[in-house]
Structure 1
Amino acid sequence: MMAATLPETPFRLDQKRIAQAILLAALVLVVCRNVLPASLVRLPEGLVLPFADWINAAFAFARDDLGLMAFTRAFSDMVEFCLDVTANLLYGKSRWPHVGPIPWVVIAATAGMAGYALAGWRLAALAAGSFVWIAVMGQWKWAMETLSVIVVAAPLSVALGLALGTLAWRFRTAERLLNPILNIAQSLPHFAYMIPVVVFIGVGPKAGAIVTVIFSVPPMIRMTLLGLRGVSPEIIESGKMSGATRLQLMTRVRLPAARTEILIGVNQVIMQSLAMVVLASFIGMPGLGQKLLQLLQALKIGLSFEIGVTIVLLAIVLDRMSKAWAVKQPGHVDGPWLHRHRLLVIWLALVALGFAMAWAHPYFAEVERKQALSLSGPVDAAVGDFIQFIGPVTDWLRWFLISWVLIPLRNAFLWLPTSAVLLALAGIGWRVGGLRSALVCLAFAVPIALSGWWDRAMITAYTVFVSVSLALLIGVPLGLLGAGTETRARRFLLVCDTAQTFPSFIYLIPVIMLFGVNDVAVVAAVVVFATVPIVRYTIEGLRSIPPEIVESAQMSGASPRQLLWHVKLPLAVPTLVVGANQSIMFSLFMVIIAAFIGTQDLGQEMQRALSSTDVGKGLVLGLAVAFMGLMADHLLLSFASRRRSSTGNA
C-alpha cells in the first residue's frame, strides 16, 4: 500500500538529534523565563535598528534627489487621463470625451452578450442579471466608479506582466532577480502597497489605480513565465521550419501556444484588481469599497449587505467571464458575413434598443436613489430578530473565547522570551530541512526582532495560530465529507471557488453582525477566510490518491475507517500541508484587513502608518508580515516535499 520506510541515514539521525537539542534549549529558556537576563527576554533597545528611518531616507533621496517624483507624476497624469475617459463613459464624470454616461441597460446588454459569447446562456443571465441588480438597487454610480478603475488598471497590469514575464523567460538573470521580489510582493499585505503610492501620487482614484496595478502584476508575470516555458519544442520547431522570424515566433507561435496560462494570469489580475480597488477606499478611492467602509463603520448591516451582494456579484461575474475566456479555444466559422458575425449584429441591435429606451425614459439611463429598491429594511429586521434569538449563545461564546482562550493565549505568546522563540524556530527549521532551513528561519525572524515590533508580531502570530487551528478543525472534516463522492466533491469545490472570489472585506459583514467589534470578530473573520483553502486541498488530496492503492487496501480487508486513517490521509499529507500553508497566508492577509474592526497587532500599526503616510514604518510592518508568511511557506513546503519523497510520490 505504501512504500517501505527506509532506515534513516546517520545524517538524518544527527539532524534529528541536533534539532531536538535546540528545541530542548528553547524549552529551558521558557521554563527559566523569570530568571533570565532582560536581554534574553526582549531585545535591548540599543540593538533595535532604525529600519524605518533608513527606508524613509531612501525614499526621500529617490523623490528629491533622483527626480523620481517627476516620473511618478507624469505616469499618474497618464493614468488620470485614462480614468477620466472611463469615468465619463461609465458614470458621466464631466471630463473628455464628454459623451457619457452609457445607459445601464446598454452595459447590462453588453455584459449579457459577452457572457453568451464566452459560455452560453447561463453566464449571459448571470452577467446581465448582475448589472440589472446593481442598477435597480441604486448602486450604479458606486459600481461604475469601481469598474472605471479596474478597466484601466487591469490592462496596464496585463501589459506590464506580459513584458516582465517575457523578460524573465528570455533572460535567466532577470528571472533570478524577479523571483525574490515576486515572493515578497505576493506576501506583503495590501496596505503596504498603499503608503508609498500615497507619498508619491497622493490620494484619490489615480492612487487607487496605481496601487492596483502594482498589486496585481505579480501573478501575471508568473503565469506568463509558466506559459512560455511550457510551450512544446515541436511547436517551436514547426514555426522555425515555416520561416518565422524571432518576432513572428514570439507573437504568432509562443504567445498563442501559451494562451491558456496567460489568460489564467489575466483572470488573476482581474480578481486582484477588484480586491485592491475595494480596499483602496482607505486612500480615497471612491466606489463600492468606500461606501461599504462607511456603512460598516456606522454598523448599518442592511445597507452593508446590499453593497456586499453587489461586490460579490461583480467578483463572480468577472471571475466566471475571465475563466470562460481562458478555456474557450478560438474557432473559425464559415458562411456569409451575417452568419459569421450574428452575435455582433445582435449586440448592436440591443445597444440601439438600449439607447432608445434611455432616450424614451430616464429610468433606463440611471435609476435615481429615490426610485431604487432596497432590502435594507427587511435585512435589518431579520438580522435584529436573528441576533435577538442567537444573542445569548453569541454573548456566551464571545465571553468564553475572550476570557478563557484568546486573552490567555495572547498573554502566553507575549510572555515567551524572544531568545526562546528564535531558538525554537531554528530547531523546527533544522528538523525540517537541516542547517539551511534553520538559517532561513532565522533570516526571516531576526529582522522582526531587530525592527522593534516583536510584541505586535507575536500578537499577529497568536491570531493566525488560533485562526488556522480552528480552520483546520472545521475545514478538514468538511473536506473529508466533500471527498466522499465525486458529485459532492464537485459541489464543495464549486463553493470553494465562489468563496475565493469574494473580496476579503465581505467576510467582515457577518462577523460584525454576530460578535460586534472585538477580537472574537477578528478571529471569526479570519477563520471563515482561511477555511476555504483547507477544504479545497483536503478534497483534492484525497481524490488524487491512485485508485490502485485504494483497491489494494480494500482487497487486504481494510475497513473504511482503516482505509481513511492508514492509507488515504497519510498519502494526502503533502497536499494537506500545502492547504495549511495557503490557510496561513490567507490568515495573514485577513488579520491585517481585520485590524479595521479592532486589534493590537501589526495591522493596526500599518493602518496608522497609512493615515500618517509613514513609508518607512509601513514597509517595515509589511515586511514583518511577509517574512512571517515566507517562513511558514518555507517550512511547510519543505516538510511536504520530504513527506512526498518518503511515500514515493515525488
Structure 2
Amino acid sequence: MSDASLPLPGLAARLSPGTRAALVTLLVGAICLLFERQVSWLPGWPSAWVMPITEWIDTSLEWVFGLIRPAVRLFSAALEYPMVAVNWLLVSTPWPLIMGATVALGWYAGGLSLAAMSAVGLGFVLISGYWVEGMNTLALVFVSVPLALILGLLIGVWANESARARPWIEATLDLMQTVPTFAYLTPLLLLFGFGPVVGLIASAIYAAPPMARNTLLGLQRVESEVKEAGIMAGATRVQQLVQVEIPAGATQIMIGVNQALMAALSMVIIAAVIGGFDDIGWEVLLTMRQANFGQSLLAGLVIVVFAIIIDRISARMATTRDRHDMRVAWAILAIALALSVVAWTMLPEPGDMALLAPTVEAVDGALTQFTRSAGATLDAVKNNAMFYGLLPLRIGLDGAVLPFTWGFSWTSAMSLTLFAISGGLGLVLALSGRVAAGLCVPIAAIILETGVAELPWPFVLVGVGALAWVAGGWKLTRLALILLLLIALTGLWPRALLSLYLCGAAVIACAVIGGLLGLLSAVSATAWAVIRPICDMLQTIPLFVFLIPVLMFFQIGEFSAFLAIIAYAIVPMIRYTRHGLVTTPPELLEAAISSGATGSQIMREVRAPYAAPTILLGLNQTILYAFAMLVITALIGTTGLGQSIYIALGSADVGLGISAGAAMAILALIADRIVQGFAEDRRKALGL
C-alpha cells in the first residue's frame, strides 16, 4: 500500500498543544471583541450571576465563632501571661546585658564578624531611641516562634508518617503560604479580640508552614542506612523517630527554624495594623500616616537590623556545625553582666539615648528640600509611567489614550490598525515555523487594546484554561477554571482583574530587569559581588519596610505600589537566573566550544535552554512574592483584592476578608501551578 492511500491526519492533530491553545484563545478573544457591545453580559461578570457567598461565610463563621469564642478567649488570656512575662523581662533587663548576650551568641555561631555585626546593630537600635519598642516587638516574636516550631514540627512529622494524609497536608501548607498576610488577621480579630495577642497568634500560624515543610523534607532525606540501623537496634517507631531520624535531619529542620523566625518577625510587623501595642510596626505605620518619613525610615531601619541579626545568627546555627570558642562567649557575657551590675544606677535609660534625633530632623529637612527641588522630575517619572505604561495595561489603549495625556484620542481605526499590524507580525512568525508565537501576538494586541481590568470574562477563562492545559493537562485546567469561577461567583471578579493587572505588570518588570541582572551576574564575578549583598539585604527586609522609600519620593498611589512590589519580588528572578546560567554542565560547554560556537551563541543556544527550568522556578517565586507584597500595598492606596482585605480588616467583615483572601490565594495558586507545569516540561525535555 502506498503512502498516498493513507488518510491524512487532521489539522488539529498536526498542531502542537501550544498552537491549539493559542488558536482557541484567539478565536474566543475575537468573538468577544465583535459582540461585546451587543451582548450586555459579555464584558463583565453579570451581577445577576453573583451568589451571596461572602454573606454565607460571614453567617457561618459568626455561628462557629459564637460557639468557640469563650474557649478561644480563655486561650488568649492564657497566652497573655508568657507574653507579658517575656516583654517585662526584655524591657527590664539592662541593655548592656541583652547586647552582651546577643554578641556572645554571635561569636559562638559565627566568630568575630557576626559578633561585631550584632554589636553594631544593637548599638544602632539603642541610639535610635527605639530600644523599648524593639524589645516589645521581640517579645511577640520570642513567644510566637516556639508555638510555630512545635506546631510545624508536629505537622511535618505527621506528614512524614502518614502517606495518605501527606498530599492533603502539603495542599494545606500551599494554601497557608499563598493566603495574604492581612487575611489571617480578620477572623483572628473577631475570635481573640483587639490587642497584641492577635499578632502573636497570627505570627505563630504564619510561621508554622516553613517549619512543617523543612521538617518533612529533613525526615525524607534521612538515608535508608540510618533508618535501618535504628530498626536493627530494636528501637520502637517513636524511639527511631526521636533518637535517630530527627537528629539525622536536624540541619534541614534548623533551616525551618530560621525561616520560621523570619516569618514571625514579618507577621508581627504586619499585625501592627490592628494597633494596640507600642512596638516597631506600630511606630512605622503611625509615622507613615503622618508623612514623617525621617522617623519612619529610622523605625524601618530598626526592623531591618533585627531581621538581619536574627537571620544571620539562626542561619549560621542551621547550616554550619563550626562553633567558636565558648570561653570567649562566656567572657563577653560576664563583662556585660559585670557592667550591668556595677553601673546599675549610672546606666542611662534606653529612651534617653536617642542620639539620632538630629539626624532624623536633618533627613526630614533634606527630604523636604529634595522633593521641592526635584518634585517636578519625580512627578514626571510617575506620570509618564502611569499614563504611558500602567494605565494602558490597566484599562487598555482604548480608554487610556486621551488628548489630556497623549495629545489625541484613540479611535476605531487605530484599533483596526493595531490588530492588522499584530496579525501581520503573527503571520510572519507563523510562516517562519513559530505558529504558537505568531498566534500570541494578536492575543497580546487584544489585551493591550482592551486592558487587563476590562477583559471579557470568557476570554480570561479560556486563556487561563488554555495555559493550564498546555502546562498540566486537563486536570490542571479543571482546577483553574473551577477556582476562577468561584472568584466570579463571589462578586470579586473586577477586583481580581485589578490585582492581576498590577501584579502582572510588576512581574513583567521583575522578569526583564531581574533576568538582565541575573545574566550580568552570571557573566561577571564583579557584578555578582556587588549584586549579591544587595539581594541578601532585600531578602531579610520585612514587607512593611519596602513601603517607606517609595512613599518618601512618590507619595501614595499605584506607581509607589508598583515599585514596592518590584523591590520585594525581583530577588528570586536574579538569583535563579544566575544559578541556572552558571550551573550548565561542563561537557555541554566543552562540546559547544569545540564546535566553534561564540560566547553569545553558547549563552543563547546552550546555557539559556539548559537554565530554562531554573529560571521558570525563579519566575514562579517572583509571582508568589508579588502577590504577597500586593496585599501590603493596600496600605498606600491600591485597588483590587488587597484593598478589599484591608477594608474587611478595618470593618471586621470576616466574610469579605476570607473571600478576598481566598481569591488572592487562588490567583497565586493557579499561577504557581502553571509555571511549575512549564518548568517540569522543560526538565523532561532536557532529560533532567
TM-score normalised per structure 1: 0.92
Equivalent residue number for residue 269 of structure 2: 278
Equivalent residue number for residue 226 of structure 2: 235
User: Is the 1:459–1:600 contact (alpha carbons within 8 Å) kept by the matching residues of 2?
Assistant: yes
Equivalent residue number for residue 86 of structure 2: 86
Amino acid at match of 2:561: V
Q: How does 1:558-637 map to 2 (within 5 A)?
A: 558-637=597-676
- Distance in 2 (alpha carbons) for counterparts of 1:453 and 1:283: 24
- Distance in 2 (alpha carbons) for counterparts of 1:551 and 1:450: 56
Gaps (5+ residues) in structure 1?
1-8, 92-100, 334-339
What is the CA-CA distance between 1:274 and the residue it aligns to?
0.7
User: Is the 2:160–2:216 contact (alpha carbons within 8 Å) kept by the matching residues of 1?
Assistant: yes
CA-to-partner distance for each residue in 1:540-591, whole Å, 9 max, x for gaps?
Answer: 1111111221122122111111111222112211111111111111111111
- Distance in 2 (alpha carbons) for counterparts of 1:551 and 1:493: 28
Counting matched residue pairs gives: 622
User: Is the 2:199–2:268 contact (alpha carbons within 8 Å) kept by the matching residues of 1?
Assistant: yes
Equivalent residue number for residue 199 of structure 1: 190
What is the CA-CA distance between 1:497 and the residue it aligns to?
2.3
User: Is the 2:105–2:329 contact (alpha carbons within 8 Å) kept by the matching residues of 1?
Assistant: no
2:288 maps to which of 296, 318, 334: 296
Supply the RMSD in Å over aligned alpha carbons.
Answer: 2.1
What is the CA-CA distance between 1:434 and the residue it aligns to?
2.7
CA-to-partner distance for each residue in 1:386-430, whole Å, 9 max, x for gaps?
Answer: 434543332211111222222222111232111111111112222
- Distance in 1 (alpha carbons) for counterparts of 2:677 and 2:472: 7
Matched, 1:397 2:381: yes
What secondary structure is seen at the aligned counterpart in 1 of 2:42?
A: helix
Equivalent residue number for residue 166 of structure 2: 175
- Distance in 2 (alpha carbons) for counterparts of 1:149 and 1:554: 57
CA-to-partner distance for each residue in 1:515-545, whole Å, 9 max, x for gaps?
Answer: 1111111111111112111111111111111
2:300 maps to which of 284, 298, 308: 308
- Distance in 2 (alpha carbons) for counterparts of 1:349 and 1:524: 47
Equivalent residue number for residue 468 of structure 1: 507
C-alpha distance 390-558 of structure 1, shift in aligned 2 (>3 A): farther
User: Is the 1:49–1:452 contact (alpha carbons within 8 Å) kept by the matching residues of 2?
Assistant: yes
User: Is the 2:186–2:648 contact (alpha carbons within 8 Å) kept by the matching residues of 1?
Assistant: yes
CA-to-partner distance for each residue in 1:606-634, whole Å, 9 max, x for gaps?
Answer: 11100111111101000111000011111
Equivalent residue number for residue 368 of structure 1: 352
User: Is the 2:99–2:122 contact (alpha carbons within 8 Å) kept by the matching residues of 1?
Assistant: yes
1:267 maps to which of 258, 281, 291: 258
What is the CA-CA distance between 1:39 and the residue it aligns to?
2.3
Equivalent residue number for residue 57 of structure 2: 55
What is the CA-CA distance between 1:347 and the residue it aligns to?
4.5
Gaps (5+ residues) in structure 2?
1-10, 396-450
Matched, 1:458 2:497: yes
What secondary structure is seen at the aligned counterpart in 1 of 2:164?
A: helix
Equivalent residue number for residue 423 of structure 1: 462
Q: How does 1:180-579 map to 2 (within 5 A)?
A: 180-284=171-275, 285-329=277-321, 342-343=327-328, 345-363=330-348, 365-368=349-352, 373-411=357-395, 412-486=451-525, 488-489=527-528, 491-579=530-618
What is the CA-CA distance between 1:36 and the residue it aligns to?
4.4
C-alpha distance 238-215 of structure 1, shift in aligned 2 (>3 A): same
User: Is the 1:496–1:532 contact (alpha carbons within 8 Å) kept by the matching residues of 2?
Assistant: yes
User: Is the 2:32–2:459 contact (alpha carbons within 8 Å) kept by the matching residues of 1?
Assistant: yes
CA-to-partner distance for each residue in 1:114-153, whole Å, 9 max, x for gaps?
Answer: 0000110111111122112111221111101100000000
What is the CA-CA distance between 1:599 and the residue it aligns to?
1.3
C-alpha distance 236-515 of structure 1, shift in aligned 2 (>3 A): same
TM-score normalised per structure 2: 0.87
- Distance in 2 (alpha carbons) for counterparts of 1:571 and 1:59: 49
Name the % identity. 33
What is the CA-CA distance between 1:18 and the residue it aligns to?
4.0
- Distance in 1 (alpha carbons) for counterparts of 2:58 and 2:246: 41
Equivalent residue number for residue 97 of structure 1: none
What secondary structure is seen at the aligned counterpart in 2 of 1:73?
A: helix
CA-to-partner distance for each residue in 1:7-42, whole Å, 9 max, x for gaps?
Answer: xx9978474454244213322233224334222322
User: Is the 2:487–2:493 contact (alpha carbons within 8 Å) kept by the matching residues of 1?
Assistant: yes
- Distance in 1 (alpha carbons) for counterparts of 2:125 and 2:613: 43
Amino acid at match of 1:47: W
- Distance in 1 (alpha carbons) for counterparts of 2:354 and 2:158: 53
Q: Please say which of residues 208-217 and 353-362 is displaced more in the overlay.
A: 353-362
What is the CA-CA distance between 1:358 and the residue it aligns to?
4.4
Q: Please say which of residues 160-169 and 30-39 is displaced more in the overlay.
A: 30-39
- Distance in 2 (alpha carbons) for counterparts of 1:37 and 1:358: 81
- Distance in 2 (alpha carbons) for counterparts of 1:204 and 1:518: 29
C-alpha distance 195-242 of structure 1, shift in aligned 2 (>3 A): same
What secondary structure is seen at the aligned counterpart in 2 of 1:38?
A: coil
User: Is the 1:398–1:515 contact (alpha carbons within 8 Å) kept by the matching residues of 2?
Assistant: yes
Amino acid at match of 2:294: G
Equivalent residue number for residue 435 of structure 2: none
CA-to-partner distance for each residue in 1:274-305, whole Å, 9 max, x for gaps?
Answer: 10011111122431110000111111111111
Equivalent residue number for residue 4 of structure 1: none
Equivalent residue number for residue 416 of structure 2: none
Amino acid at match of 1:112: V
Equivalent residue number for residue 414 of structure 2: none
- Distance in 1 (alpha carbons) for counterparts of 2:561 and 2:14: 41
2:115 maps to which of 124, 127, 143: 124
